[in-house]
Structure 1
Amino acid sequence: MSNRVRCNCHRCVIRGLMGPAVVVTVGVLFLLDQLRGGYLSFGNTFPVILIVIGVISLASNLAPDDGHISGTGAPPPPGTTRPPENPYASQGQGSGR
């Protein structure tokens, strides 16, 4: 099991629905193509995928981010240590000759 800290704010929860919503939408569109054909073929209805992506993105951006856990500022899980900082990070960038 992963020790990764997951954010449970409304914004991240809604954004996590993007993949499943697109997969379900594609499945429904292919089902309509097989059942009805003609005007409801996938070639005519694929823009619905873009609409679903836009609606979920809009809902995600409008949702509050109270309690959001960012990836960079989260403390390490208990029992682990942060890796040591690179002592050579500032060296090798030119010596000003």
Structure 2
Amino acid sequence: MKSEFFSYNSRLGIHLPRLSKDWPSYSSLEQEKVLLEWERVRGTIPDRIQEIEVEIERLQAELAQEENFDRSCMINGEISERASEINDLWIWYRTNPEKTQRGMM
């Protein structure tokens, strides 16, 4: 997706808003474009979380079989990072901006 308002976040695996000015500074049309695209992106977050959960389960199974302490620590670190990604994705999922009301002139 190419958008002036979003950029791909490789850590989370989704596009995130990339706003260059304060939200009320955008026109109604620009805000509508951003909100529409955000709803599309937001709808992909539960699937992305599920993908990461599957990866965590795989890592946990690998950890259960691992006998090398250093490798176990590395796997634990990977699990922690994936859990952090899930946490950040839920925060983004709950982000629900609204269109700014503009006064009539």
TM-score after normalising by structure 2: 0.36
Work out which of the two has the higher radius of gyration on C-alpha atoms and give 1 or 2.
1
Q: Where is the strand percentage greater, Structure 1 or Structure 2?
A: 2
TM-score after normalising by structure 1: 0.38
Q: Where is the helix percentage greater, Structure 1 or Structure 2?
A: 2
